[in-house]
Amino acid sequence: MSLTPLLNSLPKAELHLHIEGTLSPALMWELADKHQVRLPYNSEAEIAAAYQFDNLQSFLDLYYQGADVLRDEDDFYRLMWEYLRACHEQNIVHTEVMFDPQTHTERGIGFDIFMPGFLRAAQEARQEWGISCYLICSFLRHLSEQAAFETLEAAAPWYPDITAFGLDSSELGHPPEKFARVFKRVKELGFAIVAHAGEEGPPEYIWQAVELLNVDRIDHGVRCQEDPRLLALIRERQLPLTVCPLSNLKLCVIDDLAKHNILSLLDEGLLVTVNSDDPTYFGGFLNDNFSALEHALGMNEQQLQQLIVNSFKASFLPEADKQYWT
């Protein structure tokens, strides 16, 4: 029997989602027209057809190019509003959304443009649908430590609206240790910490994220299984992994979803969650990721329920809210 009715009926949380990765071809097309931005495509269909990737970098090149159509406060509002509407449609009641300030500040678009847009959409979604939305400010790891410190400083007026800081973009060649001092400061400021590690990078990068950045969660982390000592540590500490199956498939981290190790990690007792990462680029929102696990891996009802319970357990919600939802 299909798990779809149960999947749709259960309230869920999403913990690994890049807001810039929710830009639909339709909205990109519309905003390019609005701002007279020249796109290397002749139609919305051509945009969608271009989304074939060989690795993380080939995706990031298109993702940063696409973000160039986001120019004014209303664009960022629309982006967030459309994602939160998709949350409502999938019964996602809580989401922790990453944004990449440097993708915008490098183009002269500051926190005073994108933050009001994000926050207005989040506030409306809370009023309209009761959805809670936390924000995770992520540093681009291909840029310098100095640039990350400047971003942390530029974010200061918005600290009350930010729950955590994160680390994303090109992983290989940019190990977590490059940002150890930045995250030491982030910790002193009292924020939660997440970092992408072990997506394309080796287990050593996950060790660094845990030991040098003091992460509260690991984004992806699927390569931890290559190192039994690391796996044991992650299990013992119940450090959450925010896994993104369709992303791993699209970015060729795996060549077949049937080979994904998410259920094996779950069965080993790790606190794993399912997430969509960049849904409009990778061909599926959160519920599509769950459905893909049902079809490719034979995920059963008990595993589905555990993954959903984990999504709240691994969140940054207050304990009382976690208990309410689990």
**Distance in angstroms (rounded) separating the CA atoms of residues 163 and 132:** 12
x/- site string to ligand HPA, residues 76 to 105, per CB under 6 A?
------------------------------
What are φ and ψ of residue 276, in 5° steps? -105, -15
| Nearest distance in Å: CB 176, Zn ion | 15
Q: Which residues contact 190 (CB under 8 A, 6 or more apart)?
A: none
Minimum Å gap between C-beta 277 and Zn ion is 5
- Helix, strand or coil for residue 166? strand
247 contacts ligand HPA (rule: CB under 6 A): yes
The nearest distance, CB 247 to Zn ion, in angstroms, is 7
| 151 interacts with, out of Zn ion, ligand HPA, none, CB within 5 to 8 A per kind | none
The residues, any chain, with a CB within 8 Å of residue 316's CB and separated by 6 or more, are: 96, 134, 163, 164, 192, 216
291-295: Cβ within 8 A, 24+ apart:
291/3, 291/4, 291/7, 292/245, 292/246, 292/249, 292/257, 293/245, 293/257, 293/260, 293/262, 293/263, 294/2, 294/3, 294/4
State yes or no: is 171 an active-site residue.
Answer: no
Q: Out of 14, 20, 199, 200, pick the active-site residue.
A: 199
**Smallest separation (angstroms) from Zn ion to the CB of 324:** 27
| 18 marked among binding-site residues | yes
> In what helix (H) or strand (E) does residue 286 lie, and over which residues does it extend?
helix 286-297
- The answer to whether the annotation marks 196 as part of a ligand binding site is yes
Task: Tell me how far the alpha carbon of residue 323 is from its chain's centroid.
Answer: 23
Give whichever of 82 and 277 is closer to Zn ion, judged by the CB atom. Answer: 277
Among 22, 24, 169, 242, indicate the residue that binds ligand HPA (CB under 6 A).
169
- Does residue 277 belong to the site contacting Zn ion (CB under 5 A)? yes
Interacting residue with ligand HPA among 23, 274, 278, 299 (CB under 6 A): 278
Is 321 labelled a binding residue?
no
Active site residues: 199
- Sites of contact with ligand HPA (CB under 6 A): 18, 21, 56, 168-169, 196, 199, 247, 277-278
